[in-house]
Structure 1
Amino acid sequence: MLGRSFGFLWSSTGLSNLADGVLKIGAPLLAVSMTRSPTLVSLVGAAATLPWLALALHAGALADRLDRRRVMVVANLARAGILAAATVLAAYGLLDLWLLLAAVLLAGVSEVFADLSAQSVLPMTVPPERLTQANGRVSTAQMIGNDFVGAPAAGLLVVALPAALFGAPALLYAAAGLLLLGMRGAYRLPASPAGRRPLRHEIGEALRYLWSHRVLRSLAVTAGLLNLANAAYFAVFVLWAVGDGSMIGLEPGEYGLMTTAFAAGAVFGSLLSGRAASLFGEARTLVGAWLTTSVLLLVPVLVPSPWTLYPTAVLWGLVGAAGNVLVISTRQRLIPPEMLGRVNSAYRLVGMGGMPLGAALGGVVAEFAGLAAVLIGATGVCLAAVGLVWRALSDRISGPLTSQPTLSDISRSR
């Protein structure tokens, strides 16, 4: 058993990710109903991820200073308030594309603080030997909420009741924040006997640790390239897939079902990740998952049909979730507890900081070169990134990722 506090954390995760799923799919679909410009539609994805570039380092540093559970409570309630205001605007017909972008951007700011604190609070909630199991369950809850339930709900709401695209997530975020109050225990690190150093010093220490650690550095750079390319791909993929003039010709509700198929695969991938790592090795499983996901990006481009899209989405979810569980568990084991929030934030800045640029770039390139050029180009970047991490981790392909290097090893890898 993972304990009572984990149960509250897991339940809160499920509700907040259900809200994420409605917003993640609903906002681009609502944007498509306002404009067919690839550049403008891609701004939705850029707005959702821009806060990671601007705030990740400071959010991580604060997670190491403050009560991590309290940060999550405040962030969830803030998201609820922002989306409640957007609900009122939508209900009165006052919501335009620019207000939609503002709501997505502000909700993204709260997401940075909530997510970084969540990844840092989990190792304080379960024993180290249960981390992979706990992360697998958390990842399952995320996928079910984000894609299995939230995505198809968004596809229906955008047609039937657009205001509920914001109202439903607002209620879910509020409930998620209140559930966290049921967790018992201390979720704030002990104060250093030497006192607190300036925030910039603590952030600098985290950046140096990440860059000096060969495994973490390689994973972060690869994740950054993959996320940049995927942000460009999926920022315009909705135009490739949805509408009468699209290549696949899906209705909004059918687009939501695609992400349900993704979630179905992700649930199995999250639960099977530990077994796959024990059979094939952590590094081989991770690199194989990233390679498979990258190759699968070509399928909707070469064979643009619902009959190929849905099984491809299942495989996207399966291998993507398996890789995600392994990466998160690896970081939680390798990073010292007193630096977990800061180094996690540095990792995610490198790993996710390029997403707003990728989303915006995808829209601009599609405007001038066409959607297919973006989709194929993004796939090429993903394959190149997997090749880089394969070379960097070649000595660990048949072994574990989580063996901690000595200080001399770290010095030599700089």
Structure 2
Amino acid sequence: MSRLGRSFSFLWSSTALSNLADGVLKIGAPLLAVSMTRSPTLVSLVGAAATLPWLLLALHAGAIADRADRRRVMAVANAARAAILAAVALLAALGRLDLWVLLVAVLAAGVTEVFADLSAQSILPMTVTADRITKANGRVSSAQMIGNDFIGAPVAGLLVGVLPAVVFGAPALLYAAAGLLLLGMRGTYRLPDPGSARGPLRRDIGEALRYLWSHRVLRSLAISAGLLNLANAAYFAVFVLWAVGDGSMMGLEPGEYGLMTTAFAVGAVFGSVLAGRAAGIFGDFRTVVGAWLVSSLLLLAPVIMPSPWALYPTAVLWGLVGAGGNVLVISIRHRLIPAELLGRVNSAYRLLGMGGMPLGAALGGVVAEFAGIAAVLLGAAGVCLAAVGLVWRALSERISKPLTSAPILSDISGSR
């Protein structure tokens, strides 16, 4: 870690703590919702609330990341979500927690996450040299998976049954600590010339949208990622009902459901570490498309084999290919987007990539209510496979070429 520099070490440590907090919330909130209602529509609202801020605020958060000190944005966002969750923990301790308070808490945490995550992705290239970006992204992705799934998820499964207030109190402390760690990053993390910093944000946002849409490679990846995330949001918004409870297909306990995400994290850690090596053998784009294809096919496994013994190895493979593909996609964006546009274009990309998630989560709940949970799971897998076919067709001329080859870069610089 030290070879990546002091600033990256503090950024990595802050990321590890904040993602541990994310992991507790990500699993704890749906499990709390299931304890309050068995309605697929109401349970799916938790997933919709967590991702709705990406649809509403991503573009503005990206523009601010290109204007402000990115470290300061992250610190303020962490402090804000620590305060919000501490207040919700107090309400839970007083017995005032219900489904609607839970939804408001998840929504508020999601708002701060948008600003923190976009600034974190934009600040990373400012902490390491260009030749170490993929390695640094692999380290960050490993920290995210360990925090989110390997530790946070099983802890959340235990806390839900023991003391629900801690589901919010523990993340509040972790976010506060993550914000304090950012103070160890020396220097300023504001662009030397933020350009039209005094102009309207809409001008900056428009510039980013035009750049992304005219960039064939990034546009194709963003649209395909959007379809994948929409389908996965629908899938996992109701998957907890397929897996947990006496009336479910798998009959898992909350703690066992948390172990599924631990299995996911084990695979994700290996995927994050091995992503660069796989890209060196198969090429960046071929590895990404292959990872997305395998991940999509794996969505069928819990439907075909609704058994815990099949679920856990499937989760390991989900993590392996999911994290590996994610590391490479982020590294591709870091290499292809100009530094002065990184925050804004990243936000535009993630708007396309994640903006459909609240719709997907809500749609999954509604479809499950009328057609059954299995219909949602199978339909989501079908949409994912279609998205993989779309990106394969769009990048077919580049799929076997390395990212750094002259033909690709010259085509990219020509916008189409």
Bucket of the pairwise TM-score, normalised by the shorter protein: over 0.9
> Corresponding residue for 2:88?
86
- Give the counterpart of 1:321 among 306, 320, 323: 323
Q: CA deviation at 1:105?
A: 0.1
Q: CA deviation at 1:401?
A: 3.6
Give structure 2 stretches of 5+ with no counterpart.
none
> Corresponding residue for 2:77?
75
Query: What pairs up with 1:394-413 in 2 under 5 angstroms?
Result: 394-401=396-403, 403-405=408-410, 409-410=414-415, 413=416
> Corresponding residue for 1:135?
137
Is residue 172 from structure 1 mapped to residue 177 from structure 2 by the alignment? no
Evaluate the alpha carbon distance shift between residue 336 and residue 90 of structure 1 in structure 2; reply closer, same or farther with a 3 A threshold: same
Query: What pairs up with 1:156-167 in 2 under 5 angstroms?
Result: 156-167=158-169
> Corresponding residue for 2:108?
106
Give structure 1 stretches of 5+ with no counterpart.
none
Q: CA deviation at 1:80?
A: 0.3
- Give the counterpart of 1:298 among 290, 297, 300: 300
> Corresponding residue for 2:117?
115
> Corresponding residue for 1:48?
50
Specify the code of the residue in structure 1 equivalent to 2:57: L
Q: CA deviation at 1:409?
A: 2.5
Q: How far apart, in 2, do the equivalents of 1:186 and 1:409 lie?
A: 33
Q: For residues 14-57 of structure 1, what are the alpha-carbon distances to aligned partners after superposition, in whole Å with 9 as ceiling and x for unaligned?
A: 00000000000000000000000000000000000000000000
Q: CA deviation at 1:11?
A: 0.3
User: How many residues are matched?
Assistant: 411
Query: What pairs up with 1:216-235 in 2 under 5 angstroms?
Result: 216-235=218-237
Evaluate the alpha carbon distance shift between residue 405 and residue 51 of structure 1 in structure 2; reply closer, same or farther with a 3 A threshold: farther
Is residue 4 from structure 1 mapped to residue 33 from structure 2 by the alignment? no
Specify the code of the residue in structure 1 equivalent to 2:302: P
Q: For residues 231-255 of structure 1, what are the alpha-carbon distances to aligned partners after superposition, in whole Å with 9 as ceiling and x for unaligned?
A: 0000000000000000011000000
Query: What pairs up with 1:287-366 in 2 under 5 angstroms?
Result: 287-366=289-368
Q: How far apart, in 1, do the equivalents of 2:19 and 2:414 lie?
A: 39
TM-score, normalised relative to structure 1: 0.98
> Corresponding residue for 2:378?
376
> Corresponding residue for 2:97?
95
Q: Percent identity?
A: 81
Q: For residues 224-278 of structure 1, what are the alpha-carbon distances to aligned partners after superposition, in whole Å with 9 as ceiling and x for unaligned?
A: 0000000000000000000000001100000000000000000000000000000
Specify the code of the residue in structure 2 equivalent to 1:148: F
Q: How far apart, in 1, do the equivalents of 2:411 and 2:191 lie?
A: 24
SS at match of 1:187: coil
Q: CA deviation at 1:199?
A: 1.1
Contact 1:272 1:322 in 2 (8 A): yes
Q: CA deviation at 1:399?
A: 1.2
Contact 1:215 1:401 in 2 (8 A): no
- Give the counterpart of 2:207 among 181, 205, 218: 205
Q: For residues 115-166 of structure 1, what are the alpha-carbon distances to aligned partners after superposition, in whole Å with 9 as ceiling and x for unaligned?
A: 0000000000100110000000000000000000000000000001111000
Higher mean Cα deviation, 394-403 or 267-276? 394-403
Q: How far apart, in 1, do the equivalents of 2:188 and 2:174 lie?
A: 25
Is residue 262 from structure 1 mapped to residue 267 from structure 2 by the alignment? no
- Runs of 4+ that moved beyond 3 A: 191-196, 405-408
> Corresponding residue for 1:147?
149
SS at match of 1:140: helix
Q: CA deviation at 1:193?
A: 6.6
